[in-house]
């Protein structure tokens, strides 16, 4: 196993460094010190072809202006916060608005738009990059100085893990995730409509017209959101279900997981045989089928709707405004901790 490090570009006078984690079985994960962005994940198909299974660019410039958060660390709070404000301990905090009247994925300069301090960590059974960042008091409107560490690890069992840890000096909100878009066809040869998605979840959240949870928790039974036995993505998003229409013809919804660290999320591509199994200790997962991706050329491939799917393990969005949702308040002296494992395999 090895870590390959190289300069990938510059933002102003700051070098953007790429780190490629490579195990002994040919799996490679490439990430940046800017935004913690995952640019490539190389895995084999059922014929032994090693190809990239995520949406990414081959240079830094497209990442600077994109609004799709490709591959990035998301925070302080993943998802939308209604009206870009919240009350905490009797005080109202006003956040930066970056989607209509709301606050999305950490604001104008969320964790996807900052430089992280990298450190290579090599152990006997895994290799890792630890990324550190200090989010200062009032950044994007949030209270507290928050010290954050995100660790990307790869082992020879073809398991890639993302571990999040943080401490704060004030009560604050923190709910992080990663925004990688997966496409198991390899090198974006096809869209994700013929991928099969299976999620162990009995419930999902109703969204309003601005894609913010209404507070209503819905049963998946007899809806396109029933993924408990696995479903072709195209079967779900061609439904006339109102919630599919609200999300611009696809999924953009939080699912509450029935179980954790128990193969609770699975995605596979029937043609390539590639299979992704996700296990997490998070409460839920936001499934986003790229419904709002805009036409754009990227190294010979046309970026378009349904080209990738995000499986964002996280707390429930806008929880601070819904007493029936578990909150994600980080208090001084407490440690924020979250872990998600991505397992890569092949079906014949």
pLDDT of residue 295: 72
pLDDT tens sequence for the chain (348 residues): 999 999 999 999 999 999 999 999 999 999 999 999 999 999 999 999 999 999 999 889 889 987 899 999 999 999 999 999 999 999 999 999 999 999 999 999 999 999 999 999 988 889 999 999 999 999 999 999 999 999 999 999 999 999 999 999 999 999 999 999 999 999 999 999 999 999 999 999 999 999 999 999 999 999 999 999 999 999 999 889 999 999 999 999 999 999 999 999 999 999 999 999 999 999 999 999 999 887 765 655 778 899 999 999 999 999 999 999 987 899 998 999 999 999 999 987
Q: Measured in whole angstroms, how far is the alpha carbon of residue 346 from the centre of its chain?
A: 22
179 is catalytic: yes
Domains of the chain: 2-346 (2.70.98.10)
Q: Tokens representing 86?
A: 């919240």
Determine the Cα–Cα distance for residues 12 and 313; give it in Å rounded to an integer.
Answer: 33
Q: How far apart are CA 84 and CA 321, in angstroms?
A: 11
pLDDT for position 297: 58
pLDDT at 303: 83
Element (H, E) at 245: helix 242-246
| pLDDT at 296 (0 to 100) | 66
pLDDT attached to residue 207: 97
Query: Among residues 324, 285, 314, which one has the least CA distance to residue 204?
Result: 285
Of 179, 195, 253, 322, which residue is the catalytic one? 179
**What is the structure's pLDDT at 123?**
83
Catalytic residue among 140, 264, 279, 312: 312
- The tokens of 12 are what? 């102003």
Q: State the pTM of this model.
A: 0.96
Our separate counts of H helices and E strands in the chain read 3, 30
Our CA angle for 335, 176, 333, nearest 5°, is 15
Q: How far is CA 304 from the centre of its chain?
A: 19
Measuring CA to CA, how many Å separate 132 from each of 34, 98, 162, 203, 269? 11, 25, 13, 34, 34
Q: Could you tell me the two tokens for 41?
A: 């994940």
Is residue 80 within 8 Å of 103, Cβ to Cβ? yes
């Amino acid at each position: 196993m090895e870590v390959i490090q190289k300069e990938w570009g510059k933002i102003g006078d700051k070098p953007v460094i790429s780190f490629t984690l490579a195990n002994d079985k040919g799996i490679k994960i490439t990430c940046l010190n800017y935004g913690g962005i995952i640019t490539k994940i190389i895995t084999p198909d059922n014929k032994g072809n090693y190809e990239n299974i995520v949406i990414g660019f081959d240079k830094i410039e497209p990442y600077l202006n994109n609004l799709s958060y490709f591959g990035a660390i998301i925070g302080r709070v993943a998802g939308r916060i209604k009206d870009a404000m919240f009350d905490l301990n009797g005080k109202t905090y006003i956040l930066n608005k970056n989607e209509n009247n709301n606050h999305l994925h950490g604001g104008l300069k969320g964790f996807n738009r900052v430089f992280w301090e990298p450190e290579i960590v090599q152990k006997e059974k895994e290799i890792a990059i630890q990324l550190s960042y200090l989010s200062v008091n009032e950044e994007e409107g949030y209270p507290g100085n928050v010290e954050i560490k995100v660790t990307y690890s790869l082992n020879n069992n073809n398991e890639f893990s993302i571990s999040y840890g943080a401490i704060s000096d004030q009560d604050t909100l923190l709910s992080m995730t990663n925004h990688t878009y997966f496409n198991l066809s390899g090198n974006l040869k096809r869209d994700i409509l013929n991928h099969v998605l299976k999620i162990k979840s009995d419930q999902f959240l109703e969204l309003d017209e601005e894609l913010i949870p209404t507070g209503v928790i819905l049963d998946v039974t007899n809806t396109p959101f029933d993924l408990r036995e696995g479903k072709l993505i195209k079967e779900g998003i061609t439904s006339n279900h109102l919630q599919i229409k609200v999300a611009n013809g696809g999924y953009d919804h939080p699912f509450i997981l029935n179980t954790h660290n128990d193969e609770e999320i699975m995605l596979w591509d029937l043609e390539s045989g590639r299979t992704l199994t996700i296990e997490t200790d998070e409460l839920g997962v936001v499934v986003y089928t790229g419904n709002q991706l805009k036409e754009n050329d990227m190294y010979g491939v046309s970026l378009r709707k349904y080209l990738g799917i995000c499986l964002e393990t996280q707390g429930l969005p806008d929880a601070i405004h819904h007493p029936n949702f578990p909150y994600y308040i980080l208090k001084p002296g407490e440690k924020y901790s979250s872990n998600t494992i991505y397992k890569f395999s092949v079906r014949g």
